[in-house]
Amino acid sequence: MTIQTIPFSNLISIDRTSAIPLFRQLANALLTLIRNGKIKPGHRLPSSREMAAMIKLNRTTVIAAYDELRSQGWLEVFGKKGIFISSQLPVINPKSFKPEKRFTPKGLSQSDFYRQINFDRPPYREIKPFHLLINDGYPDSRITPIDSLFNRYKALLSKADLHSPLMTGNVAGSLSLRRELADFLSKTRALNIETDNVLVSHGAQLAIYIAASMVLKAGSTVIVADMNYILADKLFEQLGARLVKVKVDENGIDVDAIEEICSRCLPDLLYIIPHHHHPTTVTLSAERRMKLVDIIRRYQLPVIEDDYDYDFHYNNSPILPLASADHNGYVLYVGSISKTLAPTIRLGYLVGDADFIRQASRLKQLMEIRGDVLFEESVAYLFTTGEFQRHLRRSVKLYRQRRDRFCELLKTSLGDLIQFTIPQGGMAVWIVFPQDYSISELSKRLYAKGVYLNDGSLYRYSDTINGIRVGFASLNDAEMEKFATALAQVK
């Protein structure tokens, strides 16, 4: 082992005015020299007395710096021989999670032990602070009674005696929220249900996943609309199901086609969005609804009814859900609280037969032991006090006004370039462009104007469909004007 002879006085700089202790500055400087390779493993450092003289520090300061580095494994002390740079430096070399390219005798690569998720959203451009974000149909978080919600949460959090019964509650969700939802859904949707018929989930998407997982297995078939909520389609496929697609027109999904499929070979599930179909916003007609209920009963066809924004009707009274009819327990009803309050408030629900909900709750527990029970109790409080219902009435009135204004601005800014039908409800407009028009290029031009709009590729179900779903509910008047002005300039 050799003694280092490098000029430490030139390589180590000590700032006596710094708030960092002197011994820490020296230790950091030596550590930098080690990592840079200027002093190497196995080389001897000057004694504490020699180092102190070189860099003009108190010897006790040098001893403290050496002790610090020794405790971290950077230095070694060999009796009277002196202090040396450790032969095995404590440097962590990050290892990649990427598996090595090894192959088994069967010819499978190492990555074959996990499933491949066949879904890629279109790449998102960076959303800058000055950008106006145009979503595909979300509520306006700025009008949510968030103060009431979190005041209640804080009050519950301070009551330690509540924590034990709340944390050991039913995995199906907060008893208070399930009770309030059962009452609310019975009054607004004519669902003949009790608390045991309701499961609370972390968003409606999870409710769809739980319901589908209870019904489907590899090789199952699911009837869906040919233009459908893409995340539902991908979810069913990931569970191993095959999609059977049925046309959607201005009156909703083609019920005659559903019956024809059932008569040939009964599918395992029907997924349907009767109100404000995603993405087209159309509503299933009363005539088709009645016929579909009859098909469900005759063929004993399991159904997931996704009713994500039932409460937002503007022109007339809503048609009652399929789940409100006599369906012999075959309709599983999914709804969203997030769509009423705010996207970040991740709460949804699944309604079904009491035994089905018990079994579904066990499945839910495998994914999450329980939800945020205090938060669920806080949302239940909004129902109990009537604030949820008042917020809903205010929202419907406001979103109706925004829908009317938004559609006026679309006609003014894009004119004959587009086709759309003013939606009867919901929070978005389905806009169709000519086949040769590039929505992707429109998105790029809007981005340059400070407006963020998705590129439309998510809705490119086939070569004959060139449309985009554009939300209006979350935009105030000034934001709608900005969007319309930008559209007119770049169309």
Sign, CA torsion 78/80/84/90: positive
Task: Please report, as a single letter, which amino acid is at residue 68.
Answer: E
- Provide the 10 A C-beta neighbour count for residue 100: 7
Q: Which of 405, 410, 401, 391 is nearest to 453 (CA)?
A: 410
Low-confidence ranges of the chain (pLDDT < 70): 1-5, 91-115, 119-125, 160-169
Q: What architecture is domain 147-388?
A: 3-Layer(aba) Sandwich (3.40)
Structure-token pair, residue 403? 């829908």
Give the tens place of pLDDT for each residue, 282-325: 999 999 999 999 999 999 999 999 999 899 999 877 889 999 99
Task: Determine the length of the chain.
Answer: 491
Q: What residue has token string 């894009």?
A: 414
Strand (E) or helix (H) holding 208: helix 204-215
How far is residue 137's CA from residue 485's CA, in Å, rounded to a whole number? 20
How far is residue 228's CA from residue 456's CA, in Å, rounded to a whole number? 14
> Residue 424, Cα to own-chain centre: how many angstroms?
27
Residue 78: predicted pLDDT = 87
Q: How far is CA 124 from CA 139, 238, 388, in A?
A: 21, 23, 34
Residues of the chain with CATH 3.90.1150.10: 132-138+390-490
How far is residue 286's CA from residue 281's CA, in Å, rounded to a whole number? 16
Q: How far is CA 21 from CA 60, 64, 68, 71, in A?
A: 13, 11, 12, 17
> Residue 175, Cα to own-chain centre: how many angstroms?
25
- Provide the 10 A C-beta neighbour count for residue 69: 21
Residues of the chain with CATH 1.10.10.10: 8-85
Give the tens place of pLDDT for each residue, 418-442: 999 999 999 999 999 999 999 999 9
> Residue 317, Cα to own-chain centre: how many angstroms?
31
Q: Going by CATH, does the domain composed of 132-138+390-490 fall within 3.90.1150.10?
A: yes
Q: Which of 435, 442, 434, 398 is nearest to 417 (CA)?
A: 434
Residue 159: predicted pLDDT = 80
Residues of the chain with CATH 3.40.640.10: 147-388
What fold is seen in the domain 8-85?
Answer: Arc Repressor Mutant, subunit A (1.10.10)
Residue 40: predicted pLDDT = 87
How far is residue 349's CA from residue 177's CA, in Å, rounded to a whole number? 10
Q: How far is CA 418 from CA 130, 466, 481, 488, in A?
A: 27, 10, 18, 12
- φ, ψ for residue 479, nearest 5 deg: -70, -40
